Amino acid sequence: MPDIDRQYVEERLAEWIDPLTGEDLVSGKSIKGVGVSGGRISVEVQLGYPAKGLAESYAESIGSHLEADPQIDAAVVNVGWRIHAHKVQGDLTPIKGVKNVIAVASGKGGVGKSTTAVNLALALQADGAAVGILDADIYGPSQPRMMGLSGRPEIRGESIVPKVNYGVQTMSIGYLIDEDQPMIWRGPMVTQALQQLINETEWSDLDYLIVDMPPGTGDIQLTLAQRVPVSGAIIITTPQDISLLDARKGLKMFEKVDVPVLGIVENMSTHICSKCGHEEHIFGTGGGAQMAQEYGVELLGSLPLDIRIREQTDSGKPTVIADAESKIAEDYLAIARKSAARLSTQARNKKLQFPNIVIQNT
């Protein structure tokens, strides 16, 4: 019978497939330590995405897999995570204090993009990540109300201090204007304002900055996609044909600027009656899955049209906070995990891995 050593253990670990990334632990470079003492082993696993809610079950599953080998008497598995900065488009410089920017976009308005963005941000935070959300919709900022925040942000030197609620750092033009004040600005002014909000906000050690993109695929959206260092994008659509037509344009826009699309979220997939609980597909069915298959991207998940989502978000307590144990909150969490896991498999941003070294004569 073969001796148990690190190589033997890693061969067994290579048989365990991460259900979110589709990679085994060895090829995914998730093994950070292996200890062997006779038939007893210990393993340190480090995932590339936040997994606070999964760590215990993953550890049990990996341990059971190892102990199924008759050579292994007992296995102790610890699962943690470390989130790296991932490659962005072109030669763009990463935003100070931010490892990864994830753009949440739609080809048109009215598909629940902002509601999805805020719940995904809160889900990532609940799962152990440091998260911020930037409201990039200058004409219709909604994140302050959704996050239950108001008032002017603190100015520190030449930087704007993000407002924080539920552990998530936030920034929006909505903090700088009255709620009923219209933004009558042309495109270049909007673009400049957004760049200031992104680059002059004092983001603090974020793993992910979720950017709630303005709806559409016009000049403002294209400029943002070209000038903001984005690690990945999520496309929000509804099942109906007219929404899918515009969502395809959004996906194509990110492809043109070399931003990887992490996947598609089908919002308002079904309607759930608040009186009787009856579920029906009032906007059609299967549109998101068909689009995902057509473009070779993942369908990250589907969300219902449910009055509770609207009520909770309008009250400043989005579903992930207001009803954390609900099926809908679980759906948001599953989508957030899939998105982060997809991003973890992409190339890392080397610009953040190595410090600049300056040699001076003294």
**pLDDT at residue 355 is higher than 50:** no
CA–CA distances in Å: residue 113 to residues 106, 118, 155, 217, 258: 7, 9, 29, 14, 22
The whole-model pTM stands at: 0.90
Neighbouring C-beta atoms of residue 109, cutoff 10 Å:
15
Predicted confidence band of residue 354 (pLDDT cuts 50, 70, 90): very low
* Contacts of range 315-321, beta carbons closer than 8 Å, 24 or more positions apart: 315/148, 316/145, 316/146, 316/147, 316/148, 316/149, 317/148, 318/115, 318/118, 318/119, 318/122, 318/146, 318/147, 319/119, 320/119, 320/122, 320/123, 320/126, 321/122, 321/166
For 108-137, how does the pLDDT look when each residue is reduced to its tens digit (9 = 90+)? Answer: 777 889 999 999 999 999 999 999 999 988
C-alpha span between 311 and 317 (Å, rounded)? 9
- What percent of the chain is predicted at pLDDT more than 90? 57
Are 97 and 204 in contact, with CB atoms under 8 Å apart?
yes
Give the pLDDT score at 138.
Answer: 78
Amino acid symbol at 340 = A
Q: Give the residue-averaged pLDDT of 67-78.
A: 94
C-alpha span between 116 and 184 (Å, rounded)? 26
Vertex 335: Cα angle to 227 and 65 (nearest 5):
120
Calculate helix-pair angle for 219-227, 241-256, nearest 10 degrees.
Answer: 40
C-alpha span between 92 and 349 (Å, rounded)? 11
**pLDDT at residue 358 is higher than 50:** no
Question: What is the average pLDDT value for the chain, to the nearest integer?
Answer: 87
Q: Both tokens of residue 167?
A: 């552990």
Give the pLDDT score at 362.
Answer: 36
Stretch among 149-153, 251-255, 353-357 having the lowest mean pLDDT: 353-357
Torsion angles phi and psi, residue 124, rounded to 5: -65, -40
C-alpha span between 210 and 2 (Å, rounded)? 49
Q: Give the residue-averaged pLDDT of 232-243.
A: 84
Q: Give the residue-averaged pLDDT of 156-182.
A: 87
For the chain, the 3-state helix, strand and coil shares in percent, each to the nearest 5, are 35, 20, 45
- What does the buried/exposed string (b/e) look like for 150-166 if buried means 16 or more CB atoms within 10 Å of the residue's CB? eeebeeeeeebbbbebb
**pLDDT at residue 91 is higher than 60:** yes
Neighbouring C-beta atoms of residue 65, cutoff 10 Å:
17
Amino acid symbol at 246 = D
Predicted confidence band of residue 294 (pLDDT cuts 50, 70, 90): confident
Predicted confidence band of residue 356 (pLDDT cuts 50, 70, 90): very low
Amino acid symbol at 203 = W
Predicted confidence band of residue 352 (pLDDT cuts 50, 70, 90): low
Predicted confidence band of residue 147 (pLDDT cuts 50, 70, 90): very high
Nearest Cα to 222, choosing from 118, 100, 105? 105
Predicted confidence band of residue 359 (pLDDT cuts 50, 70, 90): very low
